[in-house]
Amino acid sequence: MVQSVGRWLLLSHYASEFTMPAMVGGLFLPVLLLSLWGLNQLPPPNAADIAARVKRGPMNGKARRELFAHYAPGLIVLIALYVLLTAMRDFRDNFAAEIWQSVGLGDKADIFALSDLPVGVVVLLAMATLALFRKNRPALIANLSLIGFGLLFDRLVAATGKVGTAGFLIYIADANGYAGSVALLLLKNFAALKLPWVEFLMGASVFIGVGGLACLAFAGIYLWRKLKT
């Protein structure tokens, strides 16, 4: 929706390429504030929450190193997969205008929202169903089966039975993933990167799809056996 609004502002000549990001940010600021208010209404975890998902507390350097070392093979594979998925997502988002223009739909501002909203609804519903799993180990495998990432590390921390948070693992994954995205943007802006956008997107999708399934299969088998012990 943000991309559609931004494209509409450009096509309607209400904003230039330099002022459009600030205008879009201002338009969606109330949504951000409403979301923050909603998050602030969430109650702290009760005894049932702690029993189901273990107690969450700050992790020092030693605890972070031990957690990563204990599950290193599975985590490295999942982080590598996340790097590929983040790079793919950012490529599609950052170059969405070029991709749609190459198929003759560059003048349709609503194409961004129409192409993403149905997928977003399906993913949201799929992730919500994971709350039905009461046991964390089957929930983790179900999460991998959905190739979803939103609750992956949270359920992994819960399945370990150790006091900690998912923030450390999410940071590692995000830091590596966005490093690839920044590198791609630097190539485009300073190396005059020109690509056959649609063909590149299709080829990358096939590569990441096949490779991602292999990574998920390995991580699923490894973590199932490791967490069982």
Regarding whether 70 and 179 lie in a shared domain, the answer is yes
Q: What does the pLDDT look like over 177-186, one tens digit per residue? A: 778 778 777 8
Regarding whether 175 and 78 lie in a shared domain, the answer is yes
Question: Which is higher by pLDDT, 19 or 132?
Answer: 19
Regarding whether 37 and 65 lie in a shared domain, the answer is no
Regarding whether 213 and 155 lie in a shared domain, the answer is yes
Alpha-carbon distances, residue 220 vs 1, 118, 141, 204, 209 (angstroms) = 34, 28, 6, 23, 16
* Residue-range definition of the domain harbouring residue 9: 1-42
Contact between residue 3 and residue 117 where contact means Cβ atoms under 8 Å apart: no
The tokens for 12 are 């309607």
Q: What does the pLDDT look like over 93-149, one tens digit per residue? A: 777 777 777 777 767 767 777 777 787 787 788 777 777 777 777 777 777 766 544
59 pLDDT higher than 70 = yes
Regarding whether 144 and 114 lie in a shared domain, the answer is yes
164 pLDDT higher than 60 = no
Share of the chain above pLDDT 70, in %: 85
Q: What share of the chain is helix, strand, coil (3-state, %, to 5)?
A: 75, 0, 25
Question: Which is higher by pLDDT, 58 or 26?
Answer: 26
Regarding whether 128 and 21 lie in a shared domain, the answer is no
Which residue bears the tokens 């485009």? Answer: 188
Regarding whether 162 and 217 lie in a shared domain, the answer is yes
Q: How many domains does the chain have?
A: 2
Question: At residue 19, what are phi and psi to the nearest 5 degrees?
Answer: -95, -20
Regarding whether 213 and 159 lie in a shared domain, the answer is yes
Question: Which is higher by pLDDT, 205 or 157?
Answer: 205
How large is the C-alpha radius of gyration of the chain?
Answer: 20
